Amino acid sequence: MNYRHIYHAGNFADVLKHAVLARLIRYMQKKEGAIRVLDTHAGIGLYDLSSEEAQKTGEWQAGIGRLMEAELGPQVSELLEPYLAAIRELNPEGGIRFYPGSPKLARMLFRPQDRLSAMELHPEDYARLHRLFEGDHHARITELDGWLALGAHLPPKEKRGIVLVDPPFEEEDEYERLAKGLEKAYRRFPGGTYCLWYPLKKGAPIKEFHEALQALDIPKMLCAELTVRSDRGMTGLTGSGLVVVNPPFTLKDELHQMLPALKDHLAQDRFASHRAFWLRGENKTVKDD
């Protein structure tokens, strides 16, 4: 309950997460049927990067701040356009003051038939999220522990959807909880696309987390990781990863294009790297760089 995302909004981890989320939404929208995006740890939805909290860390400057000013090749620009266009829409006068959290980004990318379910447990953050979407019939905002949503809110009535699980990782067992949460959710909604975020930092049990996911009876899981600096002498976040369950068949190739560009523009030292690989499924890797 202590975690507040305003201190980290727009950082390199958000860039990876939101760029991939936008690709997942656009892929699912290729079919006419409605989709539901379920965001289990939604935050406040929209972040003012000029606020005292955001300015205190300034993390966004090394994240979305760099990316918005980067010269991107045509293929990468096309892949990132849905994500970056939403940020430009929020900042019509130029610059970057407002940054969309996952629920706001998803809502901005929706068609009329698409729907959002967003969960937030922190009382203040829930109140702000509820105000942001007040009167919006495409969004259902619930004050709830997001872990419970993986049971109670699945499957969605649309039968097509993306489940974003982005916990704060305040507790040591969050990696284990994430694997168990996926197992429970997948039993209820095996046809859904799941996007699980996790932090990379010194001492994190990444190998054990990946092994726990591989042990699940889930046919296809694609993993993407972006590290922006060495963990030598570091105790904080040095990178982040995403596990995508039931990924679009196009996503691996899209990551092959996006990850090198994100690494080049967001690197904080010469040890920055990226990788994309199958935890379960096709067993074809994108090489580390």
- Which residues participate in catalysis according to the annotation? 166
pTM for this model (two decimals): 0.95
pLDDT at 289 > cutoff 60: no
Through-space distance between the first and last CA atoms of the chain, rounded to whole angstroms = 36
pLDDT at 4: 67
Phi, psi angle pair for 194, to nearest 5°: -110, 140
> Which are the contacts of 177, defined by CB distance < 8 A and separation ≥ 6?
147, 167, 171
In angstroms, the CA 48 to CA 4 distance is: 13
SS3 at position 20: helix
Residue 33: pLDDT over 50: yes
Domain boundaries, the chain: 16-44+102-280
**Binding site for S-adenosyl-L-methionine: which residues?**
18, 41, 102, 120, 145-146, 166
Q: pLDDT by residue (tens digit) across 230-278?
A: 988 777 899 999 999 999 999 999 999 999 999 999 999 999 999 999 9
Sheet-wide strand order for 221-227 = 139-143, 115-120, 36-39, 161-165, 193-200, 239-245, 221-227, 273-280
Residues contributing to the annotated binding site? 18, 41, 102, 120, 145-146, 166
Question: Residues 160, 38: contact at Cβ < 8 Å?
Answer: no
Type and span of the H or E element at 187: helix 174-188
16-44+102-280, which class in CATH? alpha beta
Distances (CA, A) of 252 to 85, 145, 165, 204: 23, 32, 20, 25
Token pair recorded at residue 252: 């691996």
Please give the residue that has the higher pLDDT: either 277 or 287. Answer: 277
CA–CA separation, 133 and 140 (whole Å): 8
Share in percent of the chain as helix, strand, coil (round to 5): 40, 20, 40
Span 22-40, average pLDDT: 98
Contact predicate 36/161, CB 8 Å: yes
How high is the pLDDT of residue 53?
86
